[in-house]
Amino acid sequence: MDAVDQDPLLLLRQSIASGSSIIPTTSPDDTSSSSAPEANLAQATHLQFTHPRRVSIPIDAPTRFISNDSPVDLRSIYFAWLNREVAIPEYNASATKLNDELAGASTVHKFAFVERLDLITWLEGASEESEYIKPLAGDKDSSAVAAAASAALKGSAAPTSAQAKSGRGTLDPRLAQIYNGERPMGDRNTVLRGIKPTDFSHVRKLAATIMTKKPLPSSSSTAPAPSQSLALNPKHAQRRPDPIILLSPSASSLLRMSNVKSFLEGGRYVPPDSSSTATMLHITRVMKDIDPSRPMRFILVEGPEQFKPEYWNRVVAVFTTGQSWQFKNYKWSSATELFKHVLGIYVGWRGDQPPDAIKSFGKRIVTSQVDKWSGSDASRWRDREVVEGVWKAIEGNMRAKGWKRDAAPVAI
């Protein structure tokens, strides 16, 4: 088997896509046609995959997912996938319980909320790249790895040259013999590189540093320019990080985790669902004045409890109801100081006056009003206009702070 067939991350992703069994087991035997008995994660020594072929991988095997410069083991990856729908406090509590059962023999890695979201998105197949996952060893061209993984996910092998020419799955043996005797024509890759492939990816990195426009230094200040990129990972210096939007956790807020996606992404307001337990989600939006060629992914959370210090540079908006306790654990706990750095957004009912606290927070608060909920969404045609106004304010603030096509501000 090659590296693609044996890679734990790709095997897990392919098994999820195909809906095939993933079995924790205490047996390394992968030749048996029957399924191995399932074991507890604390006792399992191997993880058995049944797609595209039956294979067992040691459960403590390191993977290509890198956290804090160290590879994360397969058990931690699989445990995070099993707990993908639970809130972060429940996930951390379950991880602590599993670590107690392991009794020091091994330790389950607890993912930060951005790492966990990135991992789950990649495993589900919603994203073809991850800033935390290294390419396969010996294959610097990530597109080749993606192509191999994509072919495996679809469950189809690459066609032979004869099959490609005929456009059919089977071919007459005589015709196949003729096709296989043809001399292949050279393409631009073989003409430029010869018979030995040459990796020119380093040229792109060198060109990026030369072609990036740098602002002229100010004579009155020695502070770094706001257009300098904030790299999430030193090995992905040109990757633009995902901006973050903070919601109000107040029960009186019109927008909560259960209905904010419908509002900001679908342009329609529905009442929040009090039974929702989600603590983070992501939405996509094309910001035409920043990057018209690809959608930008936004991460939405209700609180900064899992924030690292550098995450604050990625916060582009804070939804608030005017209650100052919301900012207790923020980097800037004072509302007036907070909204000097971050755009504030208040969403209330049309016809109602905003709270006096909103007015006292300063001028960097965008006030929006939606029609009161009447029990039906048939008359919600004005919601989209309100949503577009909110996005226009967010995009204008992002441009002012230094967000660009491939870079984020180094400070806000």
List C-alpha distances in Å: 39 to 11, 36, 44, 105: 19, 9, 5, 16
Task: Give the model's confidence band at 348: pLDDT under 50 very low, under 70 low, under 90 confident, else very high.
Answer: very high
Taking only the tens place, the pLDDT of each residue in 172-184 is 667 776 777 776 6
Q: Residue range 93-104: average pLDDT?
A: 90
DSSP symbols for 347-364: EEETTSPPPHHHHHT-S-
Q: Are 103 and 142 in contact (CB under 8 A)?
A: no
8 Å CB contact between 64 and 134:
yes
Which pLDDT belongs to residue 152? 46
Which tokens is 32 given?
A: 């048996």
Does position 51 have pLDDT exceeding 70, yes or no?
yes
Percent of residues, the chain, with pLDDT higher than 90: 37
Q: What is the pLDDT of residue 226?
A: 39
Pick the closest to residue 14 from 189, 145, 102, 177 (CA basis). 145
pLDDT category, 279, cuts 50, 70, 90?
confident
Lowest mean pLDDT among 125-129, 151-155, 312-316: 151-155
Pairing, β 46-49 against β 22-25: antiparallel
**Residue for token pair 């909103």:** 358
pTM, 2 dp: 0.47
Burial class (CB in 10 A: 0-12, 13-18, 19+), 364: middle
Q: How far apart are CA 188 and CA 241, in angstroms?
A: 34
User: Tens digit of pLDDT for each residue in 19-30?
Assistant: 888 999 988 876
- In DSSP terms, which residues pair with 345 in a beta bridge? 319, 366
Strands 315-319 and 244-246: parallel
Residue 135 scores a pLDDT above 70:
yes
Backbone angles phi, psi at 106, to 5 degrees: -160, 170
Between 209 and 8, the higher pLDDT residue: 8
pLDDT band, very low/low/confident/very high, at 214 (cuts 50, 70, 90): low
Average pLDDT of 379-398?
Answer: 92
Whole-number CA gyration radius for the chain:
26
Asked whether residue 227 carries a pLDDT value surpassing 50, the answer given is: no
Tell me, what's the pLDDT at 159? 43
Domain 234-401 coded CATH 3.40.50.11990: yes
Q: Would the pLDDT of 333 be above 60?
A: yes
pLDDT of residue 117: 87
Length of the chain: 412
Q: What is the predicted pLDDT for the residue at 171?
A: 59
Q: Residue 98 has what pLDDT?
A: 92
Q: Look at residue 27 in the predicted model and tell me its pLDDT.
A: 82
Q: Are 61 and 8 in contact (CB under 8 A)?
A: yes
Confidence of residue 87 (pLDDT cuts 50, 70, 90): confident
Answer whether 201's CB lies under 8 Å from 141's CB: yes
Q: Domain map of the chain by residue range?
A: 3-149, 234-401
Q: Are 319 and 347 in contact (CB under 8 A)?
A: yes
Q: What is the pLDDT of residue 196?
A: 56
Better-scored residue on pLDDT, 166 or 80: 80
Please tell me which residue, 236 or 291, carries the higher pLDDT value: 291
What pLDDT sits at residue 391? 95
Mean pLDDT of the chain: 80
